[in-house]
């Protein structure tokens, strides 16, 4: 809904499209042009805690602690662009709003029949803040705030990047939850499927996972120590043609598949993308066959929360960091540790997941390169995972008002505490 402030023309343009989202930001981050705040009936307002954002029905902020005059109040706070929205939204007579301690509005346009004190924000909004937010929303740049976080305090940046990396792991875990239920909590099979998926990368991940659900972990155990046979089974499962030089093992693999009804993908089912030749898919399946016998080793390291020192020998291959290991760590090992943290309610699994990402070099992909253009360069996979999440879940969807880095750039005083 658009709002026009005819009685305050200087605000008419700037706030024409104001949304409650912006007022939420101002209240949550407590970023005001001046203090003290006063209610419309002249009482001084001191905010000890603005409350936490309520994402469900009911008042906007819960458990706030606000001193109004001489009395410290604890309870919900409701925000509106106009005071009359209290009536428009049907809060009068709604018992959920009976305990509201403060009604924060941009404009007290009319008297509202309610005993709740009103704080009018009109005179407390920082000059140009709303305009900046609007520019960020409308600019076509990938990273509308312009990136370059040199002016953002290190503590804010580090905390936010950690939080982004954790959110990314949480997101992945939530995607795994459904499959775990289908598997009746069989974590080894879940791990095995995600291990397969990692070898399919973005383009063929689904198909690799599909093969893992047909040729299960228990199936694979029967031939895990017969490398050539395992390779032949996997190649046939992925729909590849016979390798003439290995006709005998190929035939044996075919017979085994038929006897056990392991149903393969149709020939040429794997996507090739625009550039990569099809043989790259074959190489990936062969790589999978080579790494699969180590799956129990990986599982033990993860499940037993192996010390980072134990992982270190896996980090490097012939003196160089091992890119396949880095890929598996980011996409399978760290998420599984996070999944176990949720499943076992053991925080140390989550800590190990984050620790595991720290020695892995920064990922080089489209999104990290984009951040580089904006002078944002991370050092390790924990940061690149954070940057990927920040870009995909915040910058692209223009959720700058929910971003701690955006809040830092918008705030007036560099010593203000930012509560996001």
Which residue from 81, 121, 80 is spatially nearest to 100, judged by alpha carbons?
80
Q: Which of 102, 166, 395, 418 binds ligand SF4 (CB under 6 A)?
A: 395
Examine residue 388 and tell whether it contacts ligand SF4 (CB under 6 A). no
| Interatomic CA distance for residues 73 and 68, integer angstroms | 7
Q: Which stretch binds ligand SF4 (CB under 6 A): 12-20, 209-217, 338-346, 401-409?
A: 401-409
| CB 367 to ligand SF4: min, Å | 12
Which residues lie across from 105 on neighbouring strands? 80, 120
Contacts of 333 (CB under 8 A, 6+ apart): 298, 301, 302, 353, 356
User: What single string gives the DSSP state of each residue in 99-144?
Assistant: T--EEEEEE--S--S--S-EEE-GGGSPTTHHHHHHHHHH--SSST
Interactions with ligand SF4, residue window 143-202 (CB under 6 A): 143-145
Q: Which of 394, 411, 418, 420 binds ligand SF4 (CB under 6 A)?
A: 394
| CB 303 to ligand SF4: min, Å | 36
| CB 381 to ligand SF4: min, Å | 19
| CB 165 to ligand SF4: min, Å | 15
Complex with ligand SF4: residue 337 or 390, whichever CB lies closer: 390
Yes or no: say if 58 and 82 are a contact pair by the CB < 8 Å rule: no
| CB 402 to ligand SF4: min, Å | 8
SS3 317: strand
SS3 166: helix
Length of the chain: 420
| CB 394 to ligand SF4: min, Å | 4
Yes or no: say if 380 and 358 are a contact pair by the CB < 8 Å rule: yes
| CB 407 to ligand SF4: min, Å | 8
- Residues in contact with ligand SF4, shown as a per-residue x/- string from 342 to 371 under the rule CB under 6 A: ------------------------------
Contacts of 359 (CB under 8 A, 6+ apart): 308, 311, 312, 315, 380
Q: Which of 405, 411, 418, 420 binds ligand SF4 (CB under 6 A)?
A: 405
User: What single string gives the DSSP state of each residue in 45-99?
Assistant: EEEEE--EE--SSS-SEEEEEEEETTEEEEEEEEEEEETTHHHHTT-TT-GGGTT
- Residues in contact with ligand SF4, shown as a per-residue x/- string from 109 to 148 under the rule CB under 6 A: ---------------------------x------xxx---
Interacting residues toward ligand SF4 by CB under 6 A: 136, 143-145, 390, 394-395, 399-400, 403, 405-406
């Amino acid at each position: 809904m658009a709002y026009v402030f005819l009685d305050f023309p200087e605000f008419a343009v700037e706030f024409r499209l104001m949304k409650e989202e912006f007022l939420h930001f101002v209240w949550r981050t407590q970023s005001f042009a001046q203090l003290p705040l006063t209610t419309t009936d002249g009482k001084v307002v001191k905010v000890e805690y603005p409350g936490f954002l309520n994402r469900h029905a009911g008042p906007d902020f819960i458990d706030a602690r606000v001193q109004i005059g001489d009395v410290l109040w604890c309870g919900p706070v409701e925000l509106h662009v106009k005071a009359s929205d209290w009536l428009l939204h049907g809060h009068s007579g709604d018992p959920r709003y009976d305990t509201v301690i403060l009604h924060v509005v941009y404009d007290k346009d009319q008297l509202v029949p309610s005993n709740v004190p009103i704080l009018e924000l009109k005179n407390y909004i920082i000059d140009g803040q709303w305009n900046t937010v609007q520019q960020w929303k409308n600019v076509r740049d990938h990273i509308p705030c312009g990136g370059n976080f040199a002016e953002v305090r290190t503590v804010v940046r580090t905390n936010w990047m950690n939080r982004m990396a954790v959110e990314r792991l949480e997101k992945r875990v939530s995607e795994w939850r459904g499959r775990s239920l289908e598997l009746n909590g069989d974590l080894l099979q879940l791990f095995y499927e995600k291990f397969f998926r990692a070898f399919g990368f973005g383009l063929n991940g689904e198909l690799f996972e599909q093969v893992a659900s047909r040729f299960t972990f228990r199936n694979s155990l029967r031939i895990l120590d017969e490398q050539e046979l395992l390779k032949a089974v996997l190649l046939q499962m992925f729909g590849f043609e016979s390798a003439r030089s290995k006709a005998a093992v190929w035939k044996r693999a075919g017979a085994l598949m038929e006897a056990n009804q392991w149903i393969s993908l149709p020939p040429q089912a794997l996507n090739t993308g625009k550039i990569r030749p099809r043989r790259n898919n074959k190489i990936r399946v062969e790589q999978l066959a080579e790494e699969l016998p180590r799956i129990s080793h990986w599982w033990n390291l993860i499940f037993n929360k192996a010390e980072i020192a134990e992982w270190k020998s896996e980090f490097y291959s012939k003196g160089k960091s091992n890119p396949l290991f880095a890929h598996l760590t980011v996409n399978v090992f760290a998420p599984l540790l996070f999944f176990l943290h949720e499943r076992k309610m053991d925080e140390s699994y989550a800590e190990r997941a984050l620790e595991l990402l720290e020695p892995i070099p920064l990922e080089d992909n489209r999104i990290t390169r984009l951040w580089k253009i904006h002078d944002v360069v991370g050092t390790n996979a924990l940061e690149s995972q954070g940057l990927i999440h920040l870009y995909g879940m915040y910058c692209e969807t223009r959720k700058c008002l929910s971003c701690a880095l955006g809040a830092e750039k918008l705030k007036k005083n560099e010593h203000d505490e930012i509560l996001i």
